[in-house]
Amino acid sequence: MDLTKPSPENIVFMIEEIKEKLRMVNVDALKSENFNPSKYEDLHYMYEMVMKRAHISPNEMQAIAAELGSLRK
């Protein structure tokens, strides 16, 4: 899967992986169809940053959730 190319499938994949990694409780807030395709590069950056981390603190999780919220439509 080439995540460097914007596509609805890639957005769905990245959002699902981020939700799984963060073990987010409010998964309805992160529905892939709510994300703006024009912000794909930002979403891809967030995905790569989250996947690289072995541990994410509660404060970091809060910041990530806020940033993901800003990428929504």
The verdict on residue 20 lying in a domain is: yes
Cβ-contact 71, 42 below 8 angstroms: yes
Q: What is the pLDDT of residues 16-29, one digit of tens each?
A: 899 888 886 566 66
Domain interval for residue 16: 8-70
> Per-residue pLDDT tens for 3-13?
989 999 999 99
- Within a domain: 55: yes
The overall longest dimension of the chain from CA atoms, in Å, is 31
Query: Rounded to two decimals, what is the model's pTM?
Result: 0.82
**2 in a domain, yes or no?**
no
- Quick check: is 30 in a domain? yes
* Number of domains the chain is built from: 1
Confidence of residue 71 (pLDDT cuts 50, 70, 90): confident
